[in-house]
Structure 1
């Protein structure tokens, strides 16, 4: 299978759009799950796209770009790893093993893009001192250019030159390396879950974790069923917490038309 130019262009434009979405639209297009789904639709294999995107999504649960900090960009990784996995006929675990180093590399490009915007931000500060608010808006939007290039250029180059290159790499790659990438792809979602559990009150809700583990590992219940059961349990837990916090005032209550008397 080969990738067409229009597919490369769509995926590149999507990667640039995620920057605008983060600042203005707030449609969560920059989430790995959304990016993987879009890549799967464009490539005609939504199943692989959702699998790659959802797995990469697990890696950033509990991780946020607070204070402008740069974090691994697994959305861009999903836009690259999903098409390459579909083109080369590799499985999802290999796509994850390929997507993780791409996401980590994007951290460095994100830092470079933010650094290049310092000049524009200095211009915006001077415009604010002169109360030239139109220029502040202009400089802010110009900052998205370099930021968008830091995403769009890697996606375009990786997909445009990546077909033959990745095929050649796979043909010369030793079996132990490919197996290692697959094993790493299977273990990395557990790392994301571990990071999330570190910030959650696990000790308080350990019975619910055990129930979920039993349902998934022993009863083989689908994830949708486990999610619905989790929603029901969380609702029950919320109702019980409300009952514990509500206090009923005590006193003498007179029933009747006292005012008429």
Structure 2
């Protein structure tokens, strides 16, 4: 069990890094469940549980500075405990969300703590101490590994009781404060996206998507479907307009030639 707990802690850390740097899909619940099952010797059950959790977390995504529930850690721990306890997807579906929310709280704390290294890196950059500058980045990576291992290792090593005890120890006031902070962060994320977008004629579409998500109750998948349909409709009319303009230009040129 010690080897399995260490292996899954390392796997969780690597998958979380992948989610924050590139996001090629390896950290999604389906793949996470399969890799967890591979380490625990039951790939089939890992895929079954991962597929079930994929449906739960399908609409979750990080936008800008927003920190959503940690689907990677939640899926990994839930899949591992489902396999180790032999209770299948039922216990995984019960544990995934609470664990993901608890991991989200630690993620916010970890990111906040890492701002120390950002200021350190700025100071090293001004002094042209590039070796220490690299060290500051690796220190942030170390904090990330600790943050993941703190919740994954005891959960796997001690089992379901450890997870429930960990969640119950966190004061409700702390959880509520982190929840409020997490609710404010999307506004910062949207502001950052607007700054990067900097295309005024696309702003209305941006706010339409925001209104659908917030006031219309649309999930990320739903907003994406609406956006794709709108893009296809606009593309269709633009192509027709270009065809008509081209035909009109050719006719004008032909009329001019006939007059000559």
Which TM-score applies when normalising by structure 2? 0.62
Aligned pair 1:66/2:70, yes or no? no
Aligned counterpart, 1:162: 159
TM-fit CA distance, 1:159: 0.7
Aligned pair 1:120/2:144, yes or no? no
* Distance in 2 separating the partners of 1:204 and 1:146: 39
TM-fit CA distance, 1:68: 3.0
Describe the SS at the equivalent of 2:45. helix
Aligned counterpart, 1:210: none
Describe the SS at the equivalent of 1:29. coil
TM-fit CA distance, 1:156: 0.8
Describe the SS at the equivalent of 1:102. helix
Aligned pair 1:199/2:223, yes or no? yes
Unaligned runs of 5+ in 2: 166-216, 255-260
* Distance in 1 separating the partners of 2:111 and 2:223: 28
Unaligned runs of 5+ in 1: 170-192, 206-234, 255-261
Evaluate the alpha carbon distance shift between residue 23 and residue 101 of structure 1 in structure 2; reply closer, same or farther with a 3 A threshold: closer
| Residue pair 2:30, 2:50 contacting (<8 A) in 1 also | yes
Evaluate the alpha carbon distance shift between residue 72 and residue 19 of structure 1 in structure 2; reply closer, same or farther with a 3 A threshold: same
Aligned pair 1:106/2:130, yes or no? no
* Distance in 2 separating the partners of 1:159 and 1:10: 10
* Distance in 2 separating the partners of 1:238 and 1:7: 52
Aligned counterpart, 1:148: 145
| Residue pair 1:49, 1:82 contacting (<8 A) in 2 also | yes
Aligned pair 1:92/2:115, yes or no? no
Cα deviation digits, residues 197-218 of structure 1 (max 9, x gap): 441354996xxxxxxxxxxxxx
Aligned counterpart, 1:14: 11
When structure 1 is superposed on structure 2, of 79-88 and 195-204 the one drifting more is: 195-204
| Residue pair 1:85, 1:95 contacting (<8 A) in 2 also | yes
Q: How does 1:6-85 map to 2 (within 5 A)?
A: 6-22=3-19, 27-85=24-82
* Distance in 2 separating the partners of 1:26 and 1:37: 17
May I ask how many residue pairs the two structures share in their alignment?
196
Aligned counterpart, 2:133: 136
Cα deviation digits, residues 39-73 of structure 1 (max 9, x gap): 11122322332233233333444433233322111
Evaluate the alpha carbon distance shift between residue 57 and residue 128 of structure 1 in structure 2; reply closer, same or farther with a 3 A threshold: farther
Q: Which has the higher helix share?
A: 2
Cα deviation digits, residues 84-140 of structure 1 (max 9, x gap): 112222131331111111001111110111122122111112122223333222211
Which TM-score applies when normalising by structure 1? 0.62
